[in-house]
Amino acid sequence: MNIDMIRAAADRLAGHVRKTPLLTSPFLDEIAGRQVWVKPECLQHTGSFKFRGGWSAVSAMDEETRKKGVIAFSSGNHAQGVALAAAKHGAPAVIIMPEDAPRMKIENTRALGAEVVLYDRAGGESREAVGDALSQDRELTLIRPYDDPYVIAGQGTTGLEIAEQANEAGVTDADVLICCGGGGLTSGIAMALEADAPGLRTRPCEPEEFDDVARSLRSGGIEKNNATSGNICDAIITPAPGELTFPIMYRLCGPGLVVTEVECLHAMALAFSRLKIVVEPGGAAALAAALFHPDEIEGDNVFAVCTGGNVDADMFKTALDRFA
Amino acid sequence: MNIDMIRAAADRLAGHVRKTPLLTSPFLDEIAGRQVWVKPECLQHTGSFKFRGGWSAVSAMDEETRKKGVIAFSSGNHAQGVALAAAKHGAPAVIIMPEDAPRMKIENTRALGAEVVLYDRAGGESREAVGDALSQDRELTLIRPYDDPYVIAGQGTTGLEIAEQANEAGVTDADVLICCGGGGLTSGIAMALEADAPGLRTRPCEPEEFDDVARSLRSGGIEKNNATSGNICDAIITPAPGELTFPIMYRLCGPGLVVTEVECLHAMALAFSRLKIVVEPGGAAALAAALFHPDEIEGDNVFAVCTGGNVDADMFKTALDRFA
């Protein structure tokens, strides 16, 4: 895993990925007490940065392997990112989802061209068993959500863009806050910034009680969460940092920030009123940290990556009801 | 008024205006029956394209005149666009608003650095009388919302970007739908496309019963609306096309499209779920036309400019409740 892999991914993504702009608002700057730069990856294809990693992985495969197809386990943003990336390459995609996943997510993933295979989570069926059988039968290639070098490289292209855009804005010294689950995006961005903008410090942001990355960075070893569900920030709830991603984060990232669910809802409402973007709870963690944890941040500038916008209307209305 | 004025405005705006991306979604393409390209000017500074015209006008003034200040009549997007453009030039801005304007809009305009002067609309006070007295006392320069060459030139920079982005996307032949009030944006874009993308046809979109531009394009003369309020698309409700903008639109624009309020709410909900952007009712008219009036549009591609996102939470929730 090195910067050349991220640059190679950027070459493969060119013309296919959306280069998201940097957004700002004087109203957010006033709350944060410093200049806030928002990178809205909710505007990326399929509504999250996951399309970058999906495209990177699918585009790196040799033609023979790709024609057989890819497989992913996900009920969320990774599913849609892989599905669209595969479809645009003309490759079959199988997505394994729990049969109690939200109907909308199942339908969206199907509509993006993937074959959705449901498993009975409540009845104790193992998704790995379902997936392994399919993979062997059809020689599908598994695309992991974060512990995959090509996926990390794809997510890291976000960091190349941040480095370029920070340079254009004349900012050479700042914390860069990232909503962090397994660490694919965070580790990729950290490597990109190390190379292209060494004055920018990457820092993971997580919800309270699911701060495995923050704790792992403190202890120096991989720490697990006690639970794997029960938080509105579902997009960034993972069991533990990845085997590939953690060493990169440990070497390059500043201390993790921890936010509450209520702070995420508040950040969603401010992104609505001040930036005109739709952000999901887990995609708002970094913005929440930038706005509501000013004493834990250094410098006159802060970057926050809003990682996704796949939120249903009811949750969005909850944020508006409380804070808009 | 000519293309050189638009190119000069683009030079003055460079580095200050946000170049908004083109957004797409396969789900919207399916509804429309063709490829839909959305230009989200809701992501522009102050939440609407109006910042372009404001910056263009303020930046074109000579230093002496600018130091005395500018004045505008507006309770909406033009007010915020002019306020921020003036503040960034260090110029005083006076915005005349009715005292019954929404408190949020008054506060936002003040927070952007403008002096807000309220007049008693209900009591019959004339905003022109209030404004004229102030202008004469303080030698302020009036910036009109659309019938001003520098404002039209600023809005036209949106068209230069569309031409460039359409070219990059390989689209040379399409209708370009614009939410239209007085015609500043529509006429500016029409001139830019005439020069840089002559296969793209500019077409104004308006709400039912406020279709003065569509009727004027048919009759060949300036037609008025019967009312000046009473529609959720308040941002694009104007009495009639402008004296400067109408001849340009008459020469260059295709037939107008007319949408319902319900279609605008539906388009807002789809922009939320499929593009992750916040659009106000009047800013959704063009997307509504693209999605729900396919038989009135030609070609395999259509562009829709989402002109603004300054919508309060209650109206946004109405859209989500009905359609998301």
Please answer yes or no on whether B21 and A18 come within 8 Å at the CB atom.
yes
Cα of B232 vs its chain's centroid, Å? 15
Q: Does A133 touch chain B (CB under 8 A)?
A: no
A 22-61 residues with CB < 8 A to B: 23-24, 26-27, 30, 40, 42-43, 45, 47
Q: Is the pLDDT of residue A132 over 90?
A: no
**Shortest CB distance from B21 goes to which of A21, A47, A324?**
A21
Q: Looking at residue A166, what is its pLDDT?
A: 98
Query: Given a cut of 90, is residue A290 above it in pLDDT?
Result: yes
What is the mean pLDDT of the segment spanning B248-273?
98
Chains A & B: contacts with CB separation below 8 Å: 76
CA distances from A223 to A215, A243, B109, B277 (A): 6, 11, 48, 36
pLDDT (tens digit per residue) in B183-208:
999 999 999 999 999 999 999 999 99
Q: Provide, as residue numbers in chain A, all residues whose Cβ is less than 8 Å from the Cβ of B42.
A: 276
**Residue A277 is nearest to which of B19, B111, B278, comparing CB atoms?**
B278
Report the pLDDT averaged over residues B144-171: 97
pLDDT, mean of residues A2-7: 98
> Has residue B124 got a pLDDT over 90?
no
Taking 3-state DSSP, the helix, strand and coil percentages for chain B, each rounded to the nearest 5, stand at 50, 15, 35
Instruction: For chain B, say whether A122 makes contact (Cβ under 8 Å).
Output: no
Nearest to A276 among B30, B273, B278 (CB): B278
**pLDDT grade for B15, boundaries at 50, 70 and 90:** very high
Question: Average pLDDT of chain A?
Answer: 95
- The pLDDT of residue B197 is 98
Q: Closest approach of chain A CAs to the CA of B58, in angstroms?
A: 19
For residue B94, give the nearest of B57, B40, B45, B130 by alpha carbon.
Answer: B130
Q: What is the mean pLDDT of chain B?
A: 95
Find chain A residues with C-beta within 8 A of B48's C-beta.
Answer: none
The pLDDT assigned to A101 comes to 81
Give CA–CA dist B207/B229, Å, rounded.
Answer: 12
Give the residue from chain A lying closest to B17, CA to CA: A23
Helices (H) and strands (E) in chain A — how many of each? 14, 9
Whether B262 shows a pLDDT value over 90: the answer reads yes
Domains plus CATH for chain B? 3-49+148-323 (3.40.50.1100), 51-142 (3.40.50.1100)
Structure confidence at residue A52 (pLDDT)? 98
List pLDDT tens digits, range B128-137.
888 888 889 9
Report residue B84's pLDDT band, with 50, 70 and 90 as the boundaries: very high
Instruction: For an interface test with B, give the residue of A19, A46, A276, A323 to mutate (most B CBs within 10 A).
Output: A276
Q: What's the pLDDT tens digit per position in A141-193?
A: 999 999 999 999 999 999 999 999 999 999 999 999 999 999 999 999 999 99
- pLDDT at residue A286 is higher than 90: yes
Interchain CB distance below 8 Å, B43 and A20: no
Contacts A21 to B, Cβ<8 Å: 18-21, 43
**pLDDT tens per residue across span B27-59:** 999 999 999 999 999 999 999 999 999 999 999
What percent of chain A shows pLDDT beyond 70? 100
d(CA A72, CA A55): 13
Tell me the per-residue pLDDT of A88-130, one tens digit each, with 9 for 90 and over. Answer: 999 999 999 988 887 888 889 999 999 999 988 778 788 888 8
Tell me if chain B has a CB within 8 Å of the CB of A324. Answer: yes
Taking CA atoms, B67 is separated from A23, A100, B93, B144, in Å, by 29, 63, 10, 18
pLDDT at B126 over 90: no
> What would the mean pLDDT of A9-34 be, rounded to a whole number?
97
Q: What is the pLDDT, as a whole number, of residue B310?
A: 95
**A49-58, A65-74, A251-260, B105-114: the lowest-pLDDT one:** B105-114
- On whether ipTM exceeds 0.90, the answer is yes
Specify the DSSP class assigned to residue A208: T
Q: What is the rounded average pLDDT of the residues A69-75?
A: 92
Which member of B20, B24, B277 has the closest CB to residue A277?
Answer: B277
Determine contact: A14 vs chain B, CB below 8 A. Answer: no
Taking residues B162-176, report their average pLDDT: 97
Mutate which: B268, B276, B315, B320, vs A, most A CBs within 10 A: B276
pLDDT for the residue numbered B224: 96
pLDDT, one tens digit per residue, over A234-280 is 999 999 999 999 999 999 999 999 999 999 999 999 999 999 999 99
